[in-house]
Structure 1
């Protein structure tokens, strides 16, 4: 890489994520080629990544299930946060196509992966007492731009 070209944090992270996924399928037994990779393999990769998570996800049997700020420590597992998984899949989906994969066969965009992400989001929201409601875009008001200019 030359000194004049800089890549964004997003591009660097996308490259690292892609390399991690490619290493994962190279180490798969039996070894797996990218062309034979499916949504099921992507789900296995996401489950594998869970062991490196840092987000406490309370089980339904935990007395702190649904509490955003538990008063004490509990033995519930640490998992990958939904937002991290969602961003990861977005980067891998883009990297797949940038590396010659066809949009129609992109394993990161399968229905199973979308359903898994939705289920993780919903369960983590319940577990941690956090709402992941989609934020509505508010229309830009004409007054705000002129009001800020005069202040």
Structure 2
């Protein structure tokens, strides 16, 4: 360990190694010439080194790459500016083949049974929560990659309606509907405030 860089928090010159109030403990370093760079640590004369993306950012990049690949493989191939909410729904239906959630069909004897006693041949699909989170990430990625919010196909009303239908359908198939999470204050009021 270098002298003066120990756990005491003092630097070489005896000054305390604490960031100023506007610097904060996280989120970057000081670049050449003293300029601040968010999320980047730069030593004098060294090239900037970006902090690795967090889990959400990594997943968002993978989802975006997957969607762009889907557009390229589409027959006929689609470009992003020509993509609509209908294409997004088509993409979500395509993803169902990779799902891991058993969704009982209406004619299945286990339809609406939360604890089916035996296996059935009903299809595996993407869970509603996974699709909802995916659309949220793709909606953000679209705008981060230069798309205008007003033309965002992931924010289309048809996509929201499709997600609502999937949510309701999966809730009925599993025997109990998805319920909106209540806020803590509403839950306390319902319990009598204790």
Q: TM-score, normalised by structure 2?
A: 0.69
Task: Give the direction of change, closer, same or farther, for the CA distance of 1:4–1:106 in structure 2 (3 Å limit).
Answer: closer
Structure 1: which 5+ residue stretches go unaligned? 142-151
* Counterpart Cα distance in 1 of 2:50 and 2:142: 26
**Offset of 1:4 from its aligned partner?**
5.7
CA–CA distance in structure 2, aligned partners of residues 96 and 27 of structure 1? 19
Separation of aligned partners in 2, 1:104 and 1:40: 16
- Higher mean alpha-carbon deviation, 28-37 vs 109-118, is at 28-37
d(CA) in 2 for partners of 1:81 and 1:64? 18
Gaps of at least 5 residues in structure 2 are 1-47, 189-194
Which whole-Å deviations, capped at 9, do the CAs of 1:62-116 have from their partners, x for residues lacking one? 0100111111000000000000000000000000000000000000000000000
Match of residue 66 from structure 2? 20
* Bigger RCO of structures 1 and 2 (CA < 8 A, at least 6 apart): 1
1:120 is aligned, of 166, 183, 190, to: 166
Aligned in 2, Cα 1:65/1:23: closer, same or farther, shift over 3 Å?
A: same
Tell whether 2:147 aligns with 1:136.
no
1:54-69 aligned at under 5 Å gives the runs 54-69=100-115
Higher helix proportion? 1
- Match in the other structure for 2:19: none
Kindly indicate which of the two structures has a greater share of residues assigned to strand. 2
Instruction: Name the CA distance, whole Å, in 1 between partners of 2:132 and 2:156.
Output: 13
Q: Determine the structure 2 residue equivalent to 1:96.
A: 142
CA distance in structure 1 between the aligned counterparts of 2:54 and 2:104, rounded to whole angstroms: 35
**Larger Rg over CA atoms:** 2
- Alignment TM-score, normalising by the size of structure 1: 0.89
Q: Which runs of 4+ in 1 moved over 4 A?
A: none
RMSD: 1.7
Per-residue CA shift, 1:5-32, capped at 9, x if unaligned?
1211110000000000000001112111
Does 1:76 find its partner at 2:122?
A: yes
Matched length: 141
In 2: Cα distance, 1:15 partner to 1:82 partner: 21
Q: State how far apart, in whole Å, the 2-side matches of 1:116 and 1:4 are.
A: 38
